[in-house]
Structure 1
């Protein structure tokens, strides 16, 4: 079935889904190809004869595809349409492939490579009538879009195909018998075009009759069965175990491992709780955690790997804002939802023009459960100026997205409070010797140093700063909220402050069960700063999946990735860290920020 109309992706989740007509009918395999997703309109480009989707499809059928096999199968066409339309910035086609339906051949490949010679022969002046017909190739075993193969799956969109697994090799007829085996006729151009367009129109019209078909096949369409091929009327909707993966990308090794493991283990706890509560009957959730090491290359590689795994319905992470930036488009192109429990860079949700007051959400697949820097930095500036009576600040960033964004927000907010920025420095993220920056701050008369980086560097900075001048405080964002910071910084760090979007679980009655269960499970790492937010992010994905998933089957998922994204946008529940929901930009609806002060080697919330 091929559909070209607005919101045509609805067919992937309705009557033609695995639990609809496509699953109930006595058909070995079905392939549904739609012009766009269920939440997006189709496109009719001005001045073009056809819609974007149909025009590209007709072009492929009429002109053929270079380097494609002799038979143009549904899978081959989908791959071509995906690449061509995405490259032009047009609506992204969707597909659902059941069993071996991807191997259905729609037409022969008309592409004729140019070869040196005197010119075209008589065979090149005519076309094969069979090119308009559907060819039924021998059945082969090929993974469907909803059924991941046993081996490592390919990246979506799949790589260029070869005439092997899905498409049988077709031998070209010899000159002697070509006219007998492949009779050729020239169909008038307009008629050929009408063939494709009318076929699409008939399919679209047929969609309106699907509810009636469901009633005929399965009673009221809600609990039907098929013959199973033996006339027994066996119920094909018997409950089976469906495993759904939730990806996690975070630094699981290196200096930031304590934060990353807290994110991973908290997500794991949310999955364990959902399974124990039978949150989605017949469905078992699992975590697939990948180590991004806090670096861009690993993050991009993880994103590609998670997209390729069709059992992954959403991703929690990453920890670092810069890593999130390289992952965002990879997930967006695949309609795969990611929810970060820690990123605070405003540009991730508001766009690069946010500092100029221009908000434009870059990717609608990206969400976060923590407050962004537009809330964190002003809270720190207000506390330092009003409560701590600080007037001169020296600022340092580590050139990373998170750090630079936080420092810029702090400079603006501290100035608005009446404070002065007496100097600034930009250092590498791996720096641990801050003697130069400490000297600059002390000589400039700073009474506070605001550092935008993470605890692994902030700890040594604090120790060196207090050794040089005990009266100067170090302040930062949620990246320094860690027990490791207090240990490394030492006793002289008492009085240092940091901010945290929302709160830490220990201070919230809503987190009591989470803390108890986390400790009882026996994880080796603490849930740390972002554990509660990771738990809520994972729960949001599970709740969104539950709202879409009606009946478990052996394939993942009946709720497609794009549908899940739309469902995540609308989640609304009370989580570990408070109200969980997202605004139109993907930011957490709760932008509460708490200021913490280091006292006796422990972070303690303070009243503003």
Structure 2
């Protein structure tokens, strides 16, 4: 083994998601710094290097190629965007390089059952079903307008929500797509003709502006969304007080709010001292690299000091890890999905998200045959 254990981070450090990628990288580096202060792994220091994938598929592929060509790298934490992660995963798989993604949620990532891929966060089909059931059963919503961005994430969470909502007996009254980066949604809102009781948005950066356009137009219906809006910088700040007007908002997240799992508040305080308040999935990023570190430690023990990438993969598959993101210990199903995940549902109060519900994976997952209700098709 070399004089240090080397791992890598692939994240968008420029472009629309730069702030999100920076938080991911900072949380990972904090975990590594703390582990090194505690002796590293079996006495070896951990060296971590980051690369900017720009949130672009081609750049992500190049980053993956570069990482794979480094034989001393034992694992990658990344990426953030689902399309980038899916593309990079195939390259890592060809080189037996373990990849754990803290955030990428598109269902397709783990459906291929690549042996090197581990998803720490929840899947869109799980979270989409969980929020749909809450909207239908708990809040009594029946007719939705669905607005999604022309992105992989927007399509994925939009499909997940609509399929579950329809199975439960709801209706999709209208479906619209918007371009990522758009800001003027007054014409879109003015064109809505359907009778609806909620608007569901699938996307990341446009949600606050759609919400503001709704309230300007006098539309008071509930605004609900996937976790693309569970973001202080890109949703809470631009939404401002409109997030509490009318029926307010319901935003899902794939991790409980800070403070609900032991250790998460202490981590958030340490993070805030260095970088400012947690705004997104820092807790998931922190735990993801700790999972990778634990697997490398187990592989070192098993091989008596000289693990290969395949040894780390074997250790990762067997791992049970109790972290600060989820109450249950992290362990993987046969696809590489995390069995400990939950879906949290949040409203906004006093400029902050407040969790109002938490649905375990076993309850919030795919709509099973026993719970299906008569399907209502898209109205015309």
Summarize the alignment of residues 294-313 of structure 1 with structure 2, pairs less than 5 Å apart.
294-313=55-74
- 1:472 is aligned, of 194, 218, 221, to 221
- 1:544 is aligned, of 280, 295, 298, to 295
Partner of 2:262: 509
Q: Report whether the alignment pairs 1:582 with 2:342.
A: no
Q: Which protein shows a greater Rg? A: 1
Q: CA deviation at 1:267?
A: 0.6
Q: Distance in 1 between matches of 2:77 and 2:39?
A: 21
- 2:306 is aligned, of 558, 563, 587, to 558
Question: Conserved in 2, the CA contact under 8 Å of 1:384 and 1:390?
Answer: yes
Could you list the per-position Cα deviations for residues 145-165 of structure 1 after superposition, in whole angstroms to 9, with x for gaps in the alignment? xx7xxxxxxxxxxxxxxxxxx
Partner of 1:412: 163
Q: CA deviation at 1:533?
A: 0.9
Q: CA deviation at 1:426?
A: 2.2
Question: Conserved in 2, the CA contact under 8 Å of 1:263 and 1:527?
Answer: no
Partner of 1:573: 321
Q: Distance in 1 between matches of 2:101 and 2:69?
A: 20
Partner of 2:37: 276
Could you list the per-position Cα deviations for residues 38-84 of structure 1 after superposition, in whole angstroms to 9, with x for gaps in the alignment? xxxxxxxxxxxxxxxxxxxxxxxxxxxxxxxxxxxxxxxxxxxxxxx
Summarize the alignment of residues 174-573 of structure 1 with structure 2, pairs less than 5 Å apart.
242-351=3-112, 361=113, 363-441=114-192, 443-454=193-204, 456-484=205-233, 485-494=235-244, 495-520=248-273, 522-523=274-275, 526-550=277-301, 558-573=306-321
Question: Conserved in 2, the CA contact under 8 Å of 1:262 and 1:526?
Answer: no
Q: Distance in 2 between matches of 1:519 and 1:489?
A: 23
Q: Distance in 2 between matches of 1:506 and 1:460?
A: 29
SS at match of 2:206: helix
Could you list the per-position Cα deviations for residues 540-564 of structure 1 after superposition, in whole angstroms to 9, with x for gaps in the alignment? 11111111225999xxx82111211
Could you list the per-position Cα deviations for residues 243-262 of structure 1 after superposition, in whole angstroms to 9, with x for gaps in the alignment? 22221111122332221111
Change in CA separation of 1:263 and 1:526 when aligned onto 2, cut-off 3 Å = farther
Q: Distance in 1 between matches of 2:318 and 2:187?
A: 49
Summarize the alignment of residues 39-78 of structure 1 with structure 2, pairs less than 5 Å apart.
none
Change in CA separation of 1:552 and 1:274 when aligned onto 2, cut-off 3 Å = farther
Q: Distance in 1 between matches of 2:278 and 2:59?
A: 23
Question: Conserved in 2, the CA contact under 8 Å of 1:267 and 1:535?
Answer: yes
- Report the TM-score when normalising by structure 1: 0.55
Change in CA separation of 1:248 and 1:526 when aligned onto 2, cut-off 3 Å = farther
Q: CA deviation at 1:527?
A: 3.5
Question: Conserved in 2, the CA contact under 8 Å of 1:378 and 1:410?
Answer: yes
Question: Conserved in 2, the CA contact under 8 Å of 1:470 and 1:492?
Answer: no
Summarize the alignment of residues 4-153 of structure 1 with structure 2, pairs less than 5 Å apart.
none
Q: Distance in 2 between matches of 1:527 and 1:308?
A: 33
Could you list the per-position Cα deviations for residues 161-185 of structure 1 after superposition, in whole angstroms to 9, with x for gaps in the alignment? xxxxxxxxxxxxxxxxxxxxxxxxx
Q: Distance in 2 between matches of 1:246 and 1:437?
A: 45
Question: Conserved in 2, the CA contact under 8 Å of 1:396 and 1:424?
Answer: yes
- 1:595 is aligned, of 306, 331, 345, to 345
Q: Distance in 1 between matches of 2:257 and 2:25?
A: 17
SS at match of 2:322: strand
Q: CA deviation at 1:401?
A: 1.9
Q: Distance in 1 between matches of 2:293 and 2:30?
A: 12
Question: Conserved in 1, the CA contact under 8 Å of 2:255 and 2:284?
Answer: no
Q: Report whether the alignment pairs 1:606 with 2:359.
A: no
Partner of 1:98: none
SS at match of 2:51: strand
Q: CA deviation at 1:497?
A: 1.1
Question: Conserved in 1, the CA contact under 8 Å of 2:7 and 2:73?
Answer: yes
SS at match of 1:450: strand
- Report the TM-score when normalising by structure 2: 0.87
Q: Distance in 2 between matches of 1:462 and 1:544?
A: 43
Q: Distance in 2 between matches of 1:465 and 1:314?
A: 45
Number of equivalenced pairs: 352
Change in CA separation of 1:596 and 1:551 when aligned onto 2, cut-off 3 Å = closer
Q: Distance in 2 between matches of 1:436 and 1:544?
A: 52
